[in-house]
Amino acid sequence: MHRRRRTALSVSVVLLAAGPFLAACGSTAHPGAAAVVGGDRIEVSALQAEVKDVRTAQQQSPQSAQLIKDSGQLGKVKLSNMIFDRVLARAAEQAGVSVSRKETQDARAAMVQQAGGEDQLREQALTNGGLAPDQIDTYVQRQVTEQKLAQAIGARTQQDLLPVLVKASKELHVDVNPRYGSWNASQIQLADYQAPWIARAKQPAAPQAAPEDQQGAPQDQQGAAQDQQDDPGDSAATG
């Protein structure tokens, strides 16, 4: 059963969103921002809302205590994904890649089928990916975008995708609030956070696989094993 949980949720592979983080804001230049990406602010309040949604779902789970314990870096993980989505969107745009609503819906339907139902998918998303129910569609769209981008540029491995992401990341001039770390544009991640997709960089990206041919695990919750008190994303501050 656990093996099924691990495989049911991941859609392509390539670098999720989870691994990138940003650097900026909360400073005098960008008060109240967790990061600024390409001139667009990621508000601390928006980040805290993402974290709160997950915490609420975790508290309703029979595994509540363990889920919370295992996601101490949840604020950083969520910020990383929010930043990465913007980097990925820029790279996709430059490659002429777009994802339709139907493509996202079809990919989610495949995930639901593999999971054994909508309720099971939600459980797996929370347990394995640190995803609240209303965050699943964003995750699916991210995976489909990565998959189509890999196809568009002929990427055969995750490492093949890195140059286009680095280019987009540098062009966006990611600025992260020091509370959350600093952005490493060359590695597409927060400087003090090891993105799970980078650790798997030598694995095939399998860009031509159908959404149900899933590998890996969603990165929204990976690398999170620190005490929750160390997570500024759970703080009420808006610095």
CA distance 104 to 199: 26
The pLDDT tens digits for 160-211 are 999 999 999 999 999 999 888 888 888 888 776 555 544 444 343 433 333 3
With vertex at residue 213, the alpha carbon angle to CA 6 and CA 222, rounded to the nearest 5 degrees, is 35
Strand arrangement of the beta sheet that strand 33-37 belongs to = 40-43, 33-37, 175-176
Mean pLDDT of the chain: 76
Cα torsion 115, 197, 167, 213: sign = negative
CA distance 124 to 48: 22
Conformation bin of residue 147: beta by default, left when phi > 0, alpha when psi is -120 to 50: alpha
The pLDDT tens digits for 100-133 are 999 999 999 999 999 999 999 999 999 999 999 9
How many CA atoms lie less than 13 Å away from 66 in the CB half-sphere? 6
CA distances from 212 to 66, 102, 152, 215 (A): 28, 15, 20, 9
Residue 80, pLDDT > 60, answer: yes
What is the predicted pLDDT for the residue at 194? 53
Q: How far apart are the first and last CA of the chain?
A: 42
Is this structure's pTM higher than 0.85?
no
